[in-house]
Structure 1
Amino acid sequence: MKASNAAICTLLVLILMAEAQVSKAVTCSPTQLSSCVSAITSKTPPSKLCCSKIKEQKPCLCQYLKNPNLRKFVNTPNARKVASTCGTPFPKC
């Protein structure tokens, strides 16, 4: 029983370490979302590239929302709709 608890703890540590490495791998750059501009500013559906960039930049969205210069673009109904269409729930910061 103790061996299985140790194995579970080791597995949890490895998962958490992998998650931390993934978070560090993302470079927050709002310009990465430039492929989404047309979808956000008009009623055109987001492209596959836009959706992949939103998913990639998801860990950065709260940071963008805290920036007054970016918030007015990121925190719009259309931006939220694009994120939802791409399957990326808008974060609650």
Structure 2
Amino acid sequence: MKVSYTAVCVVLVVLLLSEAQLSVSVTCNFSQLSPCSNALVNNSPPSKLCCDKLREQRPCFCQYLRDPSLGQYVNSPNAKKVVSSCGVSIPNC
């Protein structure tokens, strides 16, 4: 049985894309940002863990912004400073 090079490439691309889709999915959980609490409250530099969590939870920022009980925290000046320090941006939702 002869398999074409193109068919093998197509299968590999499909597998890689499906794997990428799986790794992009994130569970939105605001409590995952608790490592940032010290930076937010004490106006101190964010930890590496805080920055990692911000990057991980970035796809959830719009959901957090729309939540009346969370939006005030995400939109606060200190939160914007911490997010900026980590090189993460708050999207326009």
Structure 2 length normalisation: TM-score?
0.76
Partner in structure 1 of residue 38 of structure 2: 38
Query: Is 1:28 matched with 2:28?
Result: yes
* 1:13–1:77 distance in 2 versus 1, CA, 3 Å: farther
Partners of 1:32 and 1:42 in 2: how far apart? 19
Larger radius of gyration: 2
Percent identity, aligned pairs only, is 50
Paired residues, what number? 90
Partners of 2:16 and 2:62 in 1: how far apart? 23
| Consecutive unaligned residues in structure 1, runs of 5 or more | 1-9
Q: Aligned-pair distance for 1:15?
A: 7.5
Partners of 1:92 and 1:19 in 2: how far apart? 24
| Consecutive unaligned residues in structure 2, runs of 5 or more | 1-10
Partner in structure 2 of residue 4 of structure 1: none
RMSD: 2.3
Amino acid at match of 1:90: I
Q: Describe the SS at the equivalent of 2:87.
A: coil
Q: Aligned-pair distance for 1:53?
A: 0.2
Structure 1 length normalisation: TM-score?
0.76
Partner in structure 1 of residue 64 of structure 2: 64
Amino acid at match of 1:23: V
